[in-house]
Amino acid sequence: MIIVEGIVTQENIKPLLSQITELNNEYSCIVQVFDARYIAGKSHLKHAIEYSQRSIDNETSIANSHQIEFLLYASGRRQINRAMEMGMSSNTTDIIIAIEGEDAEYVSSVLKLKIELKKVLNPFKNKHIICSFFGIPDTELDMHSTDLESLVIERVVLLSIGK
């Protein structure tokens, strides 16, 4: 999986989404854009893509498209409308683009030209947003010796168990 981090302005959100739709249709890869504030780390996304692929392979997927299945696993939710909260919206500036598949290198090189590249993945800065979105109370954080990303990955894994 290739992860591209960067900043997008309101003026280039629509062209970026159009470009991603074209790339999804034309090349053998999955491209998903996330609001960086909801991502707990790179392993969070790697687990989500792995479990979404497994559900498609086992014919137990919730969604009809791999992009949406990936989004559901990344969010740890079964409801598409709730999962979409962590996608890019008109208010999003810091984004993370996850690209998986055969043509991932080429697709990432195209998308890197469309955004201002910058490290935006910062789960420590966004701890409150991540905890709120994934339903992780302070008491759970205090009880576990693991990090925030591990607790989010638990939610990703639990989605497959609850089917």
What structural domains does the chain harbor? 2-161 (3.30.2380.10)
Who contacts 90 (Cβ-Cβ below 8 Å, separation ≥6)?
A: 10, 13
> To the nearest 10°, the Cα dihedral for 8, 12, 17, 20?
-80
pLDDT tens-digit readout, 52-79 = 999 999 998 989 889 999 999 999 999 9
Is the pLDDT reported for residue 51 higher than 90? yes
Task: Specify the pLDDT at position 81.
Answer: 92
CB 67 within 8 A of CB 53: no
Which of 42, 40, 1 minimizes the C-alpha distance to 141? Answer: 40
Q: How far apart are CA 75 and CA 111, in angstroms?
A: 23
Q: Which residue has the tokens 């989404």?
A: 17
**pLDDT-above-90 percentage for the chain:** 75
Helix (H) or strand (E) holding 33: strand 29-35
Who contacts 53 (Cβ-Cβ below 8 Å, separation ≥6)?
A: 66
What's this model's pTM, rounded to 2 decimal places?
0.91
Task: Specify the pLDDT at position 32.
Answer: 94
Residue 159: pLDDT band (50, 70, 90) is confident
The pLDDT of 117-133, averaged and rounded, is: 94
**pLDDT-above-70 percentage for the chain:** 98
